Structure 1
């Protein structure tokens, strides 16, 4: 085993500890290992999607974070061919949800998703896709 140390905001650590307690974990280390495994599996799944896809990108962000909304809009404008629709929802005073309906090449959809994930002020991004099929006319 390798030993690492990390710095986390107190609120995030408290929320993580609450989840560990609810799920019956005996140690943070086990919870962190499982969380990292889940993160890697989700990344590998996203990396392996290919072909023509249709799906939804869900983005939770802090609208008060400097330039986050402008940055989200700039990224969306870079993917006009893949974005079919968007919906903006106010979750609370501190969080908004952007729902982006996408259709197109998996590589482009993955690039859109990863660019959103890297933004400061973005709390969570989730991509859900399925194979895009066209019915014969």
Structure 2
């Protein structure tokens, strides 16, 4: 950060106390680092909401491996969009459940579309997409 500015913020003492507790819990070095991180998160979420920029994402799927053909179906869907699917990791959670973590990259609308297709596959119990921008983030 070559051009750093100082700002003043008025905050209720109880709110600041709770914020300081979270800062310590999350192991931030100081308030400034925590506030910068919150601002970046706010800006990335806003950017993703209103644009179709290139993003990187992680999709986590939990599914029952007992569902007939589920592994093949998820694999097939990932191959259909192989230019967007960078990697996947398969984990055995217990006798019944597996987790797939998929790293995906592309324009945000395409990433959402791919994720929706995978999450809505029969046998998937839960899916969650997390996207972030990697451009213009200081």
Q: How many residues align?
A: 90
SS in 1 for 2:52: coil
- TM-score, normalising length from structure 2? 0.60
- TM-score, normalising length from structure 1? 0.60
SS in 2 for 1:54: strand
Q: Distance in 2 between matches of 1:115 and 1:103?
A: 15
Report Cα offsets for 1:61-107 as digits up to 9, x if no partner: 11110111111011100111111111000001111000001111111
Q: Distance in 1 between matches of 2:69 and 2:60?
A: 19
Q: Distance in 1 between matches of 2:135 and 2:102?
A: 19
Q: Distance in 2 between matches of 1:79 and 1:127?
A: 16
Cα deviation, residue 133, structure 1: 2.5
Cα deviation, residue 50, structure 1: 2.7
Which residue does the alignment assign to 1:126? 128
Q: Is the 8 A contact 1:60 1:122 kept in 2?
A: yes
How big is the alpha-carbon RMSD for the aligned residues of Structure 1 and Structure 2?
2.2
Runs of 4+ residues deviating >3 angstroms? none
Which residue does the alignment assign to 1:67? 69
**Which structure would you say has the larger Rg?**
2
Q: Which runs of 5+ in 1 are unaligned?
A: 1-44
Q: Which runs of 5+ in 2 are unaligned?
A: 1-45
Matches within 5 A, 1:17-36: none
